[in-house]
Amino acid sequence: MIHRDIKPSNLLINANCDLVIADFGISRPSGPPAAAAPADTAAGAADDDDGPLLTSYAVTRWYRPPELLCGNKRYGTAVDMWSAGCVLAELLGRAPAFAKPDHMAMLRSIVARLGPPSDDALAGIQDARAVRFLQRISADAEPTEWAETLPDASAGALALLSRLLRWDPAERPAASAALGDEWLAPHHSPADLADAAASPRVKFDFEGVTPNLDHFLLTALDAVRDERPDYPLKLSGMLRFGIMHDRTVPDVRTGAESTEEDALLFPDNDYTKNLTDETISST
């Protein structure tokens, strides 16, 4: 799974120092099952080239990797590893590493820190205009050592940071390999990774459902209910415009077609339980 929005506000920690990643609202499947690749496979090597087409407008800007800043539509879990590196840099320096107002300023900041991208990294950028821009702004760039701006960080922390923040997604370690880093050895448990490998793969079958007007209507009704629980809705108006007439939309949970017994589309939706004109107030 690609989380696509790793940042400090999505990392929750309790008094027992248990860390939980939150907000999977824009997460997506990453391609082939992780078990098909060795644990030390680079995060971007297995799934960037053959992964699904995804929007590049993901990940909060300060934690967005250079390939997304350049508009790539195919990417893998390496985007999360870059974000994790940005979070680590922020923990060590007490400030975001690349806090800039737009994507071009972000790329200039990354060039100033990491130096020019390698030929392999440039080959992975899908937009030729972005490649020309990077070549222009990095022609005479020299990398800045992390130790210069993070003098209080340990050598082990800086070594892991430099592994995570790489131009080329294929050079970033996978999460399992990063957890096995020497700096994290006191907190690393091989059993944790074994349990993760045995866990069932997350299914995104619902993304294959073709949306129609009913889906959008019910989503809008949910939004109205969340914002104004007492707002009156009138069913006859929806029926007059042809909305909610089609009962052959595939059930999102099973992939099977809905039946006449299904109230309208989604039996578990509050708006489709015993829905009649008599139960809905007139607007």
Active site residues: 5
What number of CA atoms fall less than 13 Å from residue 182's CA on the CB side? 6
94 backbone φψ class: left, alpha, beta (φ>0; ψ -120 to 50) = left
User: Residue with structure tokens 């879990």?
Assistant: 77
Name 125's Cβ contacts closer than 8 Å, sequence gap at least 6.
67, 70, 72, 131, 134
User: Given the structure tokens 């994790």, which residue do they identify?
Assistant: 84
Q: How many residues does the chain have?
A: 283
Residue 115: half-sphere exposure toward Cβ, Cα within 13 Å: 9
The CA distance from 225 to 233, in Å, is 10
